Chains A and B, each alone.
Chain A
């Protein structure tokens, strides 16, 4: 199974951004998707760094793709979306708006923010040129298996969310701006203070969600560490790791060792919390009754590797 690094969901300074991809070049991942996913206002801060990052990663032997924005409404955003293919790498569409802008006959990949819930939508996307789909994190394992089976017949590789805060919603409204009593147009980039999103707590102080500008994420970090065998059996060919500000290359190493059978899920889960003890994990969308649940809390029924 391959490792893909998804686009950074947060607002980082240009230097942090560049440093991240420089480090990633020497980490054991197969594919990197970069670019702006969440908010078009962030892009000008690091846009001129993108070509060099792409070159560095390609030089290091990685497959590279460029993401589209998740929600395209403004004229400026439509223009950005229509120009994605000009960067010369594959485009990962995270809003169907990007699809009609791709050059006729070009192959593309589909990110987790496009609603691919079934084999009919997969087949339709395949007919348009999709060769890889990272499924929405909400999908249960049974759906993943059905879709991956059809994907194999149609030449579409299936990827699932492997690690990182789960993208649960996208909005026209910026919650960081609202929190600071500002409008989106005058946000003053409040989200820059929270490189992994801002924790949102319940009325009892329980960690619950995370806000990231117009995006809402889970408090927990989705973690497929206990599901590798099941995902392999289901026909999944890649695991997506979503960038975080602390210890990300260590995480890439950990997941690589997990996929190579050198360590088990419990080891990985323990090491993740070792990197940042404020991280809580979940894998309930895949196997539980609800997304927030975590198999690591259950007594093990089968011995781990």
Chain B
């Protein structure tokens, strides 16, 4: 079976572009703190979501709705409403991370298919089987801590589908288990759906040196004509003992396109592209390329090579944890 391409859509326009470009599936979120890409001007109100799902279904594509932040104590109703509205909008599945919310959805919306978000960081077969048995989760998005070999071993021990990230931003830390951002900015992926938010970024130039600061901490420094990457905390430049550099991760993004055949052999069902904050033209281009890759694979043709390098905005690419030496 052809591998499923799961594409991001931050706006209704991006959703339509992804569907027209051949996305099998699009994932998106409501325009509030219930999803992990809670950026200004992004995401869908209820009416847009309903229309988006109808458009996708009319073109043979599916829509997954990410409700993958951790509900704030005392305000769970906001997240419960999001699950209910996802069902009303006709979503093909919801992507959830919080055990309490999974429990709620399983009890109150049993007919609404549930996927386990990468934010739950389910990193072994035991916990995946537990989520499947307990909440009837049908698919798990694997955290970016596993090698291809480990993914294959997991798939041999579980019944549910797996989805893995193949392109875009790369978390270095186990997803959903990182509060670096809230430590310096007060806003975190788990609680607010943002990481290293632009509202807390500041650039300062002095004598040809450009400092990038996050929450008042200088986490990147470049010369005048060097590219200045966005100061995402875990990809900043730091000092420890007598060394200075990108101690956690270089400012790289993930590109596992060349690993697609191996991921298929490892039993992976779906390939996920990160980037709900990206433009519709970017999304369309990435979708077209990945669709061509999985179609070529299915037809037994060689994989197109290096097709996405130009989309990485000059950033270096990595295959991340899929190759064991990354660790």
CB distance from A77 to the nearest CB of B (A): 8
Are A125 and B184 within 8 A (Cβ)? no
In the complex with contacts A73-B123, A203-B211, A216-B248, A291-B145 CB distance below 8 A: no
Are A115 and B247 within 8 A (Cβ)? no
Other-chain contact of B124, A73, A208, A291 (Cβ < 8 Å)? A73
Interface class of chain B by DSSP: mixed
Chain A stretch 112-134: residues in CB contact (< 8 A) with chain B: 113, 115, 117-125
CB distance from A91 to the nearest CB of B (A): 14
| Cα separation A208 to B218 with both chains bound (whole Å) | 10
> A203 contacts which chain B residues (CB < 8 A)?
211, 218-221, 237-239, 244
Are A290 and B218 within 8 A (Cβ)? no
CB distance from B317 to the nearest CB of A (A): 17
> A289 contacts which chain B residues (CB < 8 A)?
186
Answer yes or no: B177 CB below 8 A from chain A CBs: yes
> A78 contacts which chain B residues (CB < 8 A)?
124-126
Answer yes or no: A276 CB below 8 A from chain B CBs: no
CB distance from A76 to the nearest CB of B (A): 11
Other-chain contact of B327, A166, A170, A172 (Cβ < 8 Å)? A172
Are A211 and B177 within 8 A (Cβ)? no
Answer yes or no: A3 CB below 8 A from chain B CBs: no
| Cα separation A169 to B121 with both chains bound (whole Å) | 12
Chain A stretch 137-196: residues in CB contact (< 8 A) with chain B: 137-139, 142-144, 146-147, 166, 168-175, 177-179, 183-185
Are B182 and A205 within 8 A (Cβ)? no
Are B240 and A120 within 8 A (Cβ)? no
CB distance from A247 to the nearest CB of B (A): 24
Chain B stretch 157-184: residues in CB contact (< 8 A) with chain A: 172-174, 176-180, 182-184
Stretch at the interface among B15-23, B39-47, B65-73: B65-73
Are B238 and A115 within 8 A (Cβ)? no
> A46 contacts which chain B residues (CB < 8 A)?
none
The total number of A-B Cβ pairs within 8 Å is 212
Contact residue range for chain A? Answer: 35 or more
Answer yes or no: A95 CB below 8 A from chain B CBs: yes
Are A118 and B76 within 8 A (Cβ)? yes
Stretch at the interface among B100-108, B265-273, B289-297: B100-108
Answer yes or no: A202 CB below 8 A from chain B CBs: yes
Are B72 and A143 within 8 A (Cβ)? yes
> B100 contacts which chain A residues (CB < 8 A)?
118-124
Answer yes or no: B325 CB below 8 A from chain A CBs: yes
Other-chain contact of B73, A77, A146, A204 (Cβ < 8 Å)? A146
| Cα separation A207 to B32 with both chains bound (whole Å) | 34
Could you write out 16 A-B pairs with CB less than 8 Å apart? A71-B121, A73-B124, A96-B130, A97-B130, A101-B126, A115-B98, A118-B70, A121-B101, A125-B99, A138-B182, A171-B174, A172-B143, A172-B145, A185-B327, A202-B219, A289-B186
Give A residues with C-beta under 8 Å from B: 70-73, 75, 77-78, 81-82, 95-97, 99-101, 113, 115, 117-125, 136-139, 142-144, 146-147, 166, 168-175, 177-179, 183-185, 198-206, 208-209, 211, 216, 218, 284-285, 288-292
Further 4 A-B residue pairs, CB within 8 A, beyond A120-B101, A208-B238: A71-B121, A117-B73, A142-B74, A184-B327
